[in-house]
Chain A
Amino acid sequence: MADTPQQLRKSTDAKIASLRTLIAKRKRFDVMFNVLGFGLIVLSLSVLGALGAKLIYDGGGRLLETFEITPWGLAPGNRDVVGDFEKAPAQGKLPAGYQVTPKMMTLKTVYGTIDPTPLIGQRVAVKGDITKDGAISVDAMRAIPDSAPGEEISGEPTVIGKIKRVRPDPKDRNLVHADFYPEPIRVIMPEKNDYAADDLVGERVAVDPGRRGRKAEIGVIEAKSVTPLKVENFLSGMLSTNPQESGMFPALVGTLLVCIVTALLTIPMGVAAGIYLEEYAPKNWFTNLIEINIANLAGVPSIIWGLLGLGLFVISMGLGESVMTAGLTLGLLVLPIIIIATREAIRAIPNTIREASIGLGATKWQTVRYHVLPYSTGGILTGAIIAMSRAVGETAPLVLVGAAISINFTPFNDPNIATQTTLNPLSWLNSQFTVMPMMTYHWVGQPEHEFHRLAAAGSIVLVAFTLAMNAVAIYLRYRLRRNIKW
């Protein structure tokens, strides 16, 4: 049956149409994957963003806050004036001496008794109890002229300054708060003080006004003692039961030390094992078995390594709950990762390079030493650093091998081994320790909200730590691979 041109045309059209349907049908998956993929990227970025935002919202402030460690013996509410200690020139009838400039304070008055509002912008003298958080519970307050002559008053420290702003207490309608910017107060040093005045210049100090009822002038304190206050922030602070004063310095040092021990123990061993397996070992069923098992070991849950560490290092080998134990346990955990990374990096070197080296009469070791290792250093270091950042974040195995949760010393000044420290530079290996994820875990479990802020701040430090390590890994890889093209 012969087709007419029309019939032919028709059948071609139909064929093209069916082809197009077919193509559209097949392309559905491409479209679907495009949409799905993009959607997932947006989703994961927003989850990441939300996580980061939550951490920074919860803990960012705590990270930057500083707090003052009140020296032992200064009980709260004893009306110390806290401020920066400076030298003061001679002024009026006062000879040259010292002064203290308090930081911004909050005046607290009961509404109606003393109203600070009309005094805004004026120079005022305030008498009252200075509470622990630096606020003044006002007893009396009055405006004084700028050139106020010395006036004798009795009792508590009287501070001169300016009121900038008045606001009601957010919780108690009967209270009024005022922002108060004090002027320097002259300090008459006590005859006997634990700290020499000149040593205190530039420090933040607490000035104890001493006995009540002593005669003094407005703007002058006759001090009973002047004591420096140590200012700490989250990173340099010690652990404390008071969340306001707690920092993570011991955990930071502990993490660094454990990380160093782990790196020193595992990187040489892992790289050597990788080189042996890749360059020296014969390829047979036995080495295949080893290879598979190394891959399996890299996937063993970390708590299992903790159990092994507890049984082997803490108990059998008697290393105790120490930095050394933690380093060894985490070393076991990351060793397979380093071996695998080393093998991958070595495998990426083309055989032509090995043949070129061997062909010039090099021995196997010379080939490894001059070619294989240098060219794979980037990959090996990347793997090692990523393994280390994994170790830094591990909590479970360290819970088992006995990381402490409340110690206020670093392994360098462990009081339990302090006597050995001077004799043995490696005594910190035997010290108790704590690490950052451990502290975060501990803080999260506390009931007070302030501890949760600490946990968030700790998480930020931990994330920053691992990100920094990974950044170093990326940079090293870039640097070391610049001249290598394959």
Chain B
Amino acid sequence: MTTTTTDTAPAAKSSKPAYTPTPAVKINDPLKASVNKFNFYYGNGFHALQDISMPIAEYKVTALIGPSGCGKSTLLRSFNRMHDLYAKNKYVGDITLMPENINLVGPELDPIEIRMRVSMVFQKPNPFPKSIFENVAFGLRVRGESNASYVNERVETALRGAALWDEVKDKLDHSGMALSGGQQQRLCIARALATDPEILLFDEPTAALDPISTAKVEELVIELKKTVTIIIVTHNMQQGARIADYTAFMYLGKLIEFDETNKIFTTPSNPMTEQYLTGRFG
């Protein structure tokens, strides 16, 4: 398995344009993390991410966009080491977490430590078949938190933070699975918030939701960035434009362009980005 990659395209299919990545720009905001020459290989040898380098600004929303199979979810899942769950996956390069400057994907770092600092919300709402309260409290329970009043307080704060408190405060003992899809997704957000993460990862959080629930989740993301750094994968470019401060466009495992959202959506410097955004491929 090789880690050397080239910037030239593999034999391009007729309908797909050849691509030349644009180097990542420097940003002025303080950084929460930075991805440096990051490569990822799946257990079957597939080289899913190739030399990704990009900054993650603190208390901002960074969106990852691109066509299916471009590696955006793979990159997102690297941030809390989800790939460690499956054997033989391999990280090369580094994702540096500020301010300690530790390498998130370094083999010497315990993935559990990373996951306690970086939470994730998945594409399909996946509440536990437990009560609403226990769903939110789970992150605290695994940390060994047994002080009941503290747990109660954290659960309420998290549910308020996820704009779900008013809807569920009278039925905290009901099953989380009995909620509607949109409520379930906000419950999952509350669950991720309860442990006070530094980075919150969203993997297409609205893909399975109706437009109204989607709007609620989007408002929530904008609200949440005051307190937590957010990285979001989205298929919906309008959504990216609405909520993201920075946007990274990826294609076939490579980062094509990274810039401020305004700039990407109005004057992309890479012709491929423009073609994707105008719907000519993807």
Contact string against B for A residues 341-374, beta-carbon threshold 8 Å, 1 for contact and 0 otherwise: 0000000001011111111111100100011000
The answer to whether B115 and A361 touch across the interface, beta carbons within 8 angstroms, is yes
- Contact residues, B189-204 vs A (CB, 8 A): 191-192, 195
Instruction: List chain B residues, Cβ under 8 A from A358.
Output: 82, 85, 115
The answer to whether B129 and A483 touch across the interface, beta carbons within 8 angstroms, is yes
From A283, A356, A359, residue with most partner B Cβ within 10 Å: A359
- Select B85's contact among A283, A355, A485, beta carbons within 8 Å: A355
Contact string against A for B residues 104-116, beta-carbon threshold 8 Å, 1 for contact and 0 otherwise: 0000000010011
From A358, A366, A370, residue with most partner B Cβ within 10 Å: A358
**Is B42 located at the chain interface by the 8 A CB criterion?**
no
Give Cα A13 to B126, complex, Å.
Answer: 56
**Is A76 located at the chain interface by the 8 A CB criterion?**
no
The answer to whether B138 and A357 touch across the interface, beta carbons within 8 angstroms, is yes
A125 to chain B, nearest CB (A): 76
The answer to whether B188 and A484 touch across the interface, beta carbons within 8 angstroms, is no
The answer to whether B142 and A355 touch across the interface, beta carbons within 8 angstroms, is no
Give Cα A103 to B95, complex, Å.
Answer: 93
- Select A366's contact among B119, B142, B177, beta carbons within 8 Å: B142
Instruction: List chain A residues, Cβ under 8 A from B87.
Output: 282-283
**Is A249 located at the chain interface by the 8 A CB criterion?**
no
**Is B183 located at the chain interface by the 8 A CB criterion?**
no
B176 to chain A, nearest CB (A): 9
The answer to whether A375 and B85 touch across the interface, beta carbons within 8 angstroms, is no
Give Cα A443 to B128, complex, Å.
Answer: 54
- Contact residues, A381-436 vs B (CB, 8 A): none
Instruction: List chain B residues, Cβ under 8 A from A354.
Output: 85
- Select A485's contact among B82, B120, B129, B141, beta carbons within 8 Å: B129
B152 to chain A, nearest CB (A): 18
Instruction: List chain A residues, Cβ under 8 A from B82.
Output: 355, 358-359
The answer to whether A362 and B85 touch across the interface, beta carbons within 8 angstroms, is no
Given contact pairs A353-B128, A356-B188, A485-B129, A362 touches B177 in the complex (Cβ within 8 A): no
The answer to whether B138 and A363 touch across the interface, beta carbons within 8 angstroms, is no
The answer to whether A483 and B175 touch across the interface, beta carbons within 8 angstroms, is yes
The answer to whether B122 and A360 touch across the interface, beta carbons within 8 angstroms, is no
**Is B124 located at the chain interface by the 8 A CB criterion?**
yes
Give Cα A28 to B176, complex, Å.
Answer: 49
The answer to whether B177 and A484 touch across the interface, beta carbons within 8 angstroms, is yes
Give Cα A356 to B128, complex, Å.
Answer: 8
Instruction: List chain A residues, Cβ under 8 A from B126.
Output: 350, 352-353, 355-356
The answer to whether A360 and B119 touch across the interface, beta carbons within 8 angstroms, is yes
Instruction: List chain B residues, Cβ under 8 A from A363.
Output: 112, 142
Instruction: List chain B residues, Cβ under 8 A from A360.
Output: 115, 119, 138-139, 142, 191-192, 195
What residue in chain B is nearest A349 (Cβ atoms)? B129
Instruction: List chain A residues, Cβ under 8 A from B188.
Output: 356
B226 to chain A, nearest CB (A): 22
What residue in chain A is nearest B123 (Cβ atoms)? A352
**Is B143 located at the chain interface by the 8 A CB criterion?**
yes
**Is B80 located at the chain interface by the 8 A CB criterion?**
yes
Instruction: List chain B residues, Cβ under 8 A from A353.
Output: 126, 128
Instruction: List chain B residues, Cβ under 8 A from A359.
Output: 80, 82, 115, 119-120, 122, 192
Instruction: List chain A residues, Cβ under 8 A from B177.
Output: 483-485
What residue in chain A is nearest B125 (Cβ atoms)? A352
The answer to whether B138 and A370 touch across the interface, beta carbons within 8 angstroms, is yes
What residue in chain A is nearest B114 (Cβ atoms)? A361
Give Cα A359 to B142, complex, Å.
Answer: 11
- Select A352's contact among B112, B116, B122, B178, beta carbons within 8 Å: B122
- Select B112's contact among A361, A371, A483, A484, beta carbons within 8 Å: A361
The answer to whether A355 and B138 touch across the interface, beta carbons within 8 angstroms, is no
Instruction: List chain A residues, Cβ under 8 A from B127.
Output: 356
Give Cα A483 to B139, complex, Å.
Answer: 21
The answer to whether A352 and B85 touch across the interface, beta carbons within 8 angstroms, is no
Give Cα A359 to B112, complex, Å.
Answer: 8
Give Cα A350 to B175, complex, Å.
Answer: 18
Instruction: List chain A residues, Cβ under 8 A from B112.
Output: 361-363
Give Cα A127 to B139, complex, Å.
Answer: 89
A374 to chain B, nearest CB (A): 8
Give Cα A350 to B126, complex, Å.
Answer: 9
The answer to whether A484 and B141 touch across the interface, beta carbons within 8 angstroms, is no
Given contact pairs A360-B191, A361-B115, A352 touches B143 in the complex (Cβ within 8 A): no
A476 to chain B, nearest CB (A): 16
The answer to whether B142 and A375 touch across the interface, beta carbons within 8 angstroms, is no
Give Cα A362 to B138, complex, Å.
Answer: 9
Q: Give A contacts to B, CB under 8 Å.
A: 282-283, 350, 352-363, 366, 370-371, 375, 483-485
**CB-based closest 7 A-B pairs:** A361-B116, A352-B126, A360-B139, A362-B142, A484-B129, A359-B120, A361-B115
23 residue pairs A–B, Cβ–Cβ below 8 Å: A352-B122, A353-B128, A354-B85, A355-B82, A356-B122, A356-B126, A357-B128, A357-B142, A358-B82, A358-B85, A358-B115, A360-B115, A360-B195, A361-B112, A361-B115, A361-B116, A361-B195, A362-B142, A363-B112, A363-B142, A375-B129, A483-B177, A484-B129
Having A371-B128, A483-B175, one finds 14 other A-B pairs with CB under 8 Å, namely A283-B87, A352-B124, A353-B128, A354-B85, A355-B126, A356-B128, A359-B115, A360-B138, A360-B191, A360-B192, A362-B138, A363-B112, A375-B129, A483-B177
